[in-house]
Structure 1
Amino acid sequence: MPTNAETVALALDRITAAYVFPERAAEMDRAVRKRLAAGEYDDLTGPTLCETVTAHLREVCPDQHLGLRWRDEPQPVVAVDEERGQAAFLARMRAANHGVRRFEHLEGNVGYLDIRRIADAGEGARVIGGAMELVAGTRALVLDLRECLGGSPEGCTTWCSYFFPDDHTHLKDIYDRLTDTTRQYWTVAHLPAPRYLDRPVYVLTSARTFSGGEDLAYTLQAHRLALVVGETTRGGAHPTGSYQLDAHISVRVPSARGISVATGTNWEGVGVAPDLAVPADQALEVAHQHALTRTAS
């Protein structure tokens, strides 16, 4: 079992090599190694070590995706394996019904979808399509992202595509430091369910909404396709990788950044601000009433 000092040093090596902004990585490295040399971490228990180092990293760089994580159940320490990581992600998505928690048909023919994760665009496309099939005949739609904590950028593109008329819209670019490449994300040409066009769409947010959930809210808002109702979101925009440091501790390192074509920026550090600011627990009622007013005839 490595010492605390060895574990923290390895985490810093990972951050220095992979963090999306190299200059910020260097600042974090200097600040935490100074504390490391002073012995500040020597006597901390595992969970406390993770909390403390994460806090010190975020003092320098307040990236909500960045930090150390403790797991009570021992994990294998192996070289980074993208296929293994993707398989684990897909297993979690399957167990969570690819993020779609609930459908409801609200009064006034308003559709409601409770989305807790943003699924993979491959396996998840069928479930996303099934959800959109259920709401295809509604007069307005509410997407509840108040408990959505992240997921796949590709899956977010799939969700977004249902609200655009075709595959001609360039949504965003994601730059990856590890490969020094930029990938473009465009709306999808072929979808397994009807597109949802020319009807009111509402996105519910809370202070918990994070990462992929923010991506969906931000993109639809930026293209003026949905009204965001609720609270400002957490503000985590950087795609992230996880590296196992020892049997119990891993480090999450954001290695990429997305740029919206509509805004030229993203929501990192600031979150997605609602169009209608209300407490999260009132957001559904407010959105529903707003939808009923807009669709009254």
Structure 2
Amino acid sequence: MSDDTAARVAAGIGAWVERLLPDRERAGLLAAALRREFGDSTERISAEVCRRIEKVCHSYSRHLTLKFHADGSLVPDREEPMGWPPPDGAAIARARGGVVSVERHQGVAVLRVDSLEAWESAGPFLEDAFAAAEAVGGVAAGAGAVEGRGGSRTDGGGGLVLDLRRNGGGDMETLSRIAGFVLGPEAVTLATVTTMERVDEYRTAPAGRGGGRRVVVLTSERTYSSGEALAYVLQNRGVTVVGRRTAGAADHCTPARVSPHVVALIPYGVVRDPVTGGNWEGTGVVPDIEVPEGAEMAAAMGACADGARPGA
């Protein structure tokens, strides 16, 4: 049986964070907190111990989560973290590119997107969904239901509600494309991501549509990671956010096998929005209109009726 202990796992996480996270102060504080809490611990690693380690990590990086493998068969990474597997195009297609539905509520198009899948596979579904949402806003009410690749819709009305309440994040290119659909055809710089090696800039891709219409984004505690990023960049560019504060996980992360039993998501990239100079790490995205659970859709409809800030 492996001698995998809390101290070993905590040390492995701390070493990877100090190696990868460009925010040197935060990396040092996280590693020091792990040494302080678990440095002398001989407690054998378990799922419950992993949750306790996560709790310490979340004071410094909300994205840093652990997955426990009971069989202890992992070979710890040494030179490079294991990284993310390539996107599964077939699985993305089965999930309709993260698009759950396009519907009409009180004459407003409501587009629910639960994940930001790789654009290469998800793009056609999202393009269809936004085209359907535009049709909802541009055809006379009562025109009838239309079935599309992104789900059922009913034409009529105006305005758009982008429902991100269950969005768990994903691909940054897809985020940029969706932001382009909302903000319009002119390219807009959304964010930079700084790693130890470089700085990457993310901009909207010209969408040829969108912009100028009433837009509301819905969020909740389950809006996470790049789902939060999408809400954050749209809010900072004039789009109304309704709902509840998001989870607060802003760092870009990569999986690494830190022990025979544990894979950890290690933060390696720091996001900066040029509008705010910061991000939503630890704080979450704070809605413009905060409402209790169950009241979000009514509040979004009210915001559209009152003239929510247009995306552009």
The residue correspondences of 1:138-287 to structure 2 (distance < 5 A) are 138=137, 139-177=158-196, 179=197, 181-189=198-206, 191=207, 195-224=209-238, 226-287=239-300
CA separation of 1:174 and 1:288: change in aligned 2, threshold 3 A: same
Q: TM-score, normalised by structure 1?
A: 0.85
Go from structure 1 to structure 2 and tell me whether the alpha carbon gap of 1:76 and 1:122 turns closer, same or farther (over 3 Å shift).
farther
Q: Following the alignment from structure 2 to structure 1, what is the Cα–Cα distance between the partners of residues 192 and 122?
A: 22
Query: How do 1:128-147 residues align onto structure 2 when only pairs under 5 Å count?
Result: 128-137=126-135, 138=137, 139-147=158-166
Residues 32-71 of structure 1 mapped to structure 2, 5 A cutoff: 32-39=34-41, 42-59=42-59, 61=60, 63-71=61-69
Question: Distance in 2 between the 1:81 and 1:269 partners?
Answer: 24
Q: Which residue of 2 is the match for residue 100 of structure 1?
A: 99
> Shift of residue 148 of structure 1?
1.0
Long gaps (5+) in structure 2: 138-157
Change (3 A) 1:16 1:260: same
Separation in 1, partners of 2:220, 2:232: 13
Counterparts in 2 of 1:14 and 1:31: CA distance versus 1, 3 Å: same
Does structure 2 conserve the Cα–Cα contact (< 8 Å) formed by 1:175 and 1:256?
A: yes
Deviation (angstroms), 1:241 = 0.7
Q: CA deviation at 1:20?
A: 3.3
Partners of 2:90 and 2:74 in 1: CA distance? 17
1:135-190 deviation per Cα after TM superposition (whole angstroms, max 9, x unaligned): 1221111111111121112211010011233243222211112x2x111112213x
Distance verdict in 2 for CA 1:227–1:73, change over 3 Å: farther
- Which shifted more, 162-171 or 278-287? 162-171
Q: Is the 8 A contact 2:4 2:260 kept in 1?
A: no
Q: CA deviation at 1:132?
A: 0.6
Q: Offset of 1:35 from its aligned partner?
A: 3.8
2:149 aligned residue = none
TM-score calculated relative to the size of structure 2: 0.81
- Tell me which amino acid in the other structure corresponds to 2:215: V
Number of residue pairs aligned between Structure 1 and Structure 2: 283
Spell out structure 1 runs of 4+ moving beyond 6 A.
none
Q: CA deviation at 1:236?
A: 1.4
- Quote the sequence identity (%): 25
- Tell me: CA distance 1:12–1:293, structure 2 relative to 1, closer, same or farther (3 Å): closer
**SS at 1:199's partner residue?**
coil
Per the alignment, do residues 275 and 35 of structure 1 end up closer, same or farther by CA in structure 2, a change over 3 Å counting?
closer
Aligned partner of 1:10 in structure 2 is: 12
Counterpart contact for 1:148–1:208, Cα < 8 Å:
yes
* 8 Å Cα contact 2:12-2:258 kept in structure 1: yes
Contact 1:20 1:254 in 2 (8 A): no
Task: Tell me whether 132-141 or 247-256 shows the greater mean CA deviation.
Answer: 247-256
Change over 3 Å in CA distance of 1:58–1:172 after alignment to 2: closer
Unmatched 5+ residue regions in structure 1?
Answer: none
DSSP-derived class of the 2:120 partner: coil
CA-based RMSD: 2.5
Distance 2:231 2:274 in 1: 15
Q: 1:95 to 1:47 in 2, by over 3 A?
A: farther
Matched to 2:125, the amino acid is: V
3-state SS of paired residue (1:255)? strand
Alignment check: 8 A CA contact 2:166 2:222 kept: yes
* 1:218/1:272 contact within 8 Å kept: yes
Do the aligned partners of 2:113 and 2:163 also contact (CA within 8 Å) in 1? Answer: yes
